[in-house]
Structure 1
């Protein structure tokens, strides 16, 4: 068979390359892997959400829904965004998608024409550039590694990256993979650039509820001039530990939801009916502060342990401010091979920095217990990886 050039232009998602290798070794060789590669909380979905899922199935909610999502779900999402982030959206501004990932994909398909440029901030989540390429566009990278993964010092680089072909800026804070939270000055700088050059901005805020300590972050759409040009992406996977439910959403001006809704209706039809009803339950009846507070207390202890272990070994590491990842430098010319070898020889799963266009680093997820994180670092050191 002959395949489309756009498919040849992308590679399988690197995190899944490592997680697939982990699964293969665990299943075929019964290996014990300290898996720090996976991007999902090791926290049970709230029981009341699980019960609501069962109730929805028992009630026969296994049919199609309106393409953009149940009105009751979109109303709940709008209420959540108003209550938690001071965002004034109505249900007409919401599309419920099978995971936040598809909200990203639909946005790029709706905005990007062949030959368009999309500005992304490195380290960038591994699916951003492939999604841009699948839409026919080209990713233009703005690096933050020289600035300790912060965007504010890179604002001049961001503005310099704007061209007549720029169609969109993609922003992700709290950031996957670095865990950094961009400053208010950084968001203001993005706002100034977007307004001056009349550009839309996709703001991926999937980790917005997962902040350490007193750290805060305003939603980009709340800044002057940004409501009409921001596509806010969020979902249920991280905040409610519902990764397998595959339920996300976009919130945007109606001209965008109208056009992205076409892509949505012709690709996935709708998010699953019973899953949407579980989403309503999550939004309406979860004590979010308590649930995420407990989660982040656990992740903070793990973060502090991992950072201390790395710093004790004179490894360069930035202290994350949100999400549940830690990036650190490694001494290797090929971080993908480093990570594959680390799984095979040390029994530790990590994601290579090249997956995030930041070679020379790896990402560790804080999804193992403190004792397992300690064991993972000991294994890496004993096997000569640290």
Structure 2
């Protein structure tokens, strides 16, 4: 069978591949500790579940508007106005099947064959693949541990060409956990405005911050930056709603209208009763978020203490999300070999940095219990000490 040529351009997700292998080992009775998938281990908060249950009882089980339930679009617009200083109205919001879907819709709407999309590395695994599926060209800009895994305004300016259509900004970051400071965001916004390109700001981890780190949406820098900004986000990480698949895209009405047209011919509306859970997430008290972030902060500290004690490991201190991205350079191993051997010999699942464009690093998610973290880190330390 001859499949579409576009498939040859796409790399399967290594994060999902590692997780699948780890789960298969667990099913076979192997004691696997997984740091592979970015999924909070908390239950979805009770008030969100209750809102979805109430929606079911009220018959909210039928087709809804493609762009989302009006009350949810209003709640998202209110949240963006009050939390992020972004003056989007409901007509500037598209509710999508998770944050990933919002980005995919955007790429199909904005990118033509030959258009270039600038993506700093390390990057979330799906950014380049979405660009390729839309016919565009990913332009990968490497960053380093010394720079905090952040792209500088000078680097951004140097790679912009007449073909550049879009810059992808992710802060807090998956996979590194780094957070651009407000001044750094403002400096990048100057370049965006200077060269009149679009920027999509992936803000899915915006509420998961530590040590006084501050999130500034690039669209809030000023009117000129706002006019060139599209925001992608969702409920999965902040509210432990990964399986609910509710995200959103916010931007100029013409882009949202076009993305709605794409969605109307692909998935139609997002699960109706799940949207009522999302409404409760935004409209009810945020104590659940504070509690989860406090737990992540404690876990982050434990992970860093273990990693900093491993000879040959270098790990920047993340300011957000729930990942660490240590360098394995001194082990002499490439990231895929390292992770495969770690899983097979110590039954610890990590994600190779090559999936994120950084083959000398691995990603560890600390969205798991402290007991798992301690056991897994001890196994990792034993593994590395045997290599050195």
TM-score range relative to shorter protein: over 0.9
Partner of 2:365: 365
Out of 159, 164, 186, the position equivalent to 2:157 is: 159
Partner of 1:37: 36
Once residues 176 and 200 of structure 1 are traced to their aligned partners in structure 2, the CA distance between those partners, rounded to angstroms, is 21
- SS of the equivalent of 1:56 reads helix
Partner of 2:306: 309
Partner of 2:55: 56
Once residues 369 and 275 of structure 2 are traced to their aligned partners in structure 1, the CA distance between those partners, rounded to angstroms, is 31
Partner of 1:104: 103
Deviations 1:175-221 (A, max 9, x none): 00000001223212221111111101000000011101311111111
**Unaligned 5+ runs, structure 1:** none
Partner of 1:14: 14
Aligned length: 382
Instruction: Quote the offset at 1:332 in angstroms.
Output: 4.1
Match status 1:25 vs 2:22: no
Residue pair 1:332, 1:338 contacting (<8 A) in 2 also: no
Partner of 2:141: 142
TM-score (norm 1): 0.96
Once residues 188 and 10 of structure 1 are traced to their aligned partners in structure 2, the CA distance between those partners, rounded to angstroms, is 33
**Unaligned 5+ runs, structure 2:** none
Once residues 24 and 350 of structure 1 are traced to their aligned partners in structure 2, the CA distance between those partners, rounded to angstroms, is 15
Once residues 281 and 305 of structure 1 are traced to their aligned partners in structure 2, the CA distance between those partners, rounded to angstroms, is 33
Partner of 2:4: 4
Residue pair 1:175, 1:323 contacting (<8 A) in 2 also: yes
Residue pair 2:182, 2:214 contacting (<8 A) in 1 also: no
Once residues 235 and 266 of structure 1 are traced to their aligned partners in structure 2, the CA distance between those partners, rounded to angstroms, is 21
Deviations 1:109-151 (A, max 9, x none): 1011111110001110000001011111111111221534342
Q: How do residues 102-251 of structure 1 correspond to structure 2 at under 5 angstroms?
A: 102-151=101-150, 154-224=152-222, 225-251=224-250
Once residues 275 and 47 of structure 1 are traced to their aligned partners in structure 2, the CA distance between those partners, rounded to angstroms, is 14
Residue pair 1:150, 1:182 contacting (<8 A) in 2 also: no
Once residues 259 and 134 of structure 2 are traced to their aligned partners in structure 1, the CA distance between those partners, rounded to angstroms, is 13
Partner of 1:268: 267
Match status 1:95 vs 2:94: yes
TM-score (norm 2): 0.95
Instruction: Quote the offset at 1:301 in angstroms.
Output: 1.4
Once residues 341 and 212 of structure 1 are traced to their aligned partners in structure 2, the CA distance between those partners, rounded to angstroms, is 32
Instruction: Quote the offset at 1:96 in angstroms.
Output: 0.2
RMSD: 1.4
Once residues 337 and 150 of structure 1 are traced to their aligned partners in structure 2, the CA distance between those partners, rounded to angstroms, is 23
Residue pair 1:342, 1:385 contacting (<8 A) in 2 also: no
Once residues 329 and 346 of structure 1 are traced to their aligned partners in structure 2, the CA distance between those partners, rounded to angstroms, is 19
Deviates further, 318-327 or 341-350: 341-350
